[in-house]
Amino acid sequence: MIFDCDGVLVDSEPIAVRVHSAVLTELGWPMSPQDVMERFVGRSTASINEMVEAELGPELTVEAERRFKRLHAEAVDAELVTVEGIEEALDGIGLPFCVASSGSHDKMRHTLGRTGLYPRFEGRIFSATQVERGKPEPDLFLFAAAQMGVKPEACVVIEDSRFGVQAARAAGMRSFGFAGGLTPADWLEGPGTVVFEDMRKLPELLDQLPLTN
């Protein structure tokens, strides 16, 4: 099982959306939280920076990233919690699992460490910084599968973003789309994806899914 991090393990998407919206608006690119959700959620930092640079130029992109990192880290320390039910879900899953996130390793050490989840995944944490192309391309999930020694068709991805489920489909992997957070269910629906809203039900849903050896 390949878990996304933000919005699946830790409830960080509301923080990131709020901070991105505030920072970019202050720097001259008015972005509502809805705009941020539609354009950024699920994408790598590199992909986001490309879009920001096209709008604001390279100097303000550097400043935007600097402000985002500082404000995001402060908010994580003040208010971050796990996604409700994720500990129970992890306890009930008998398969090997890992994390494959658009976030950096430093960011995941912070968020997973802050919420106490880091030891559950240590040594099995993969970042979009390790591949050429981020989500919605399949590179990250294929890299994670290779590192875990598992064929893509035997993997199941847990995602909360449209770009994430698109990446899973491109990788030839089935997926569960978590709609219990910010992302509307209809953004996640599509071939090979089961949409659900209660993380505690994940082990039960997994038991109902025929797995490929």
**Same domain, residue pair 166 and 98:** yes
Structural contact between residues 100 and 141, judged by C-beta atoms closer than 8 angstroms: yes
| Final residue before a domain boundary, out of 79, 111, 134 | 79
**Same domain, residue pair 57 and 90:** no
Structural Rg of the chain based on CA atoms: 16
**Same domain, residue pair 68 and 105:** no
**Same domain, residue pair 96 and 117:** yes
- Enclosing H/E stretch for 134: none
Of 3, 68, 79, which is closest to residue 29 (Cα–Cα)? 68
Angle in degrees, 0-180, between the axes of helices 58-79 and 13-26, rounded to the nearest 10: 140
Q: What is the pLDDT of residues 19-59, one digit of tens each?
A: 999 999 999 999 999 999 999 988 888 899 999 999 999 99
**Same domain, residue pair 122 and 134:** yes
Q: What is the DSSP letter of 103?
A: S
**Same domain, residue pair 114 and 139:** yes
- % of the chain surpassing 70 pLDDT: 98
| Final residue before a domain boundary, out of 79, 111, 127 | 79
Core vs surface per residue 144-166: b (16+ CB within 10 A) or e: bbeebebebeebbbbbbbbbbbb
Across residues 85-93, what is the average pLDDT? 97
Q: Is residue 213 part of a domain?
A: no
| CATH number (domain holding residue 43) | 1.10.150
CA angle 143/194/109 to nearest 5° reads 40
Pick the catalytic residue from 4, 6, 139, 160. Answer: 4
Domain membership of residue 7 as a residue range: 2-11+81-207
Q: What is the pLDDT of residues 148-169, one digit of tens each?
A: 999 999 999 999 999 999 999 9
4 as an active site residue: the answer is: yes
Cα(101)–Cα(59) distance, rounded to whole angstroms?
26
The structure's pTM equals 0.90
Q: Is residue 7 part of a domain?
A: yes
**Same domain, residue pair 34 and 124:** no
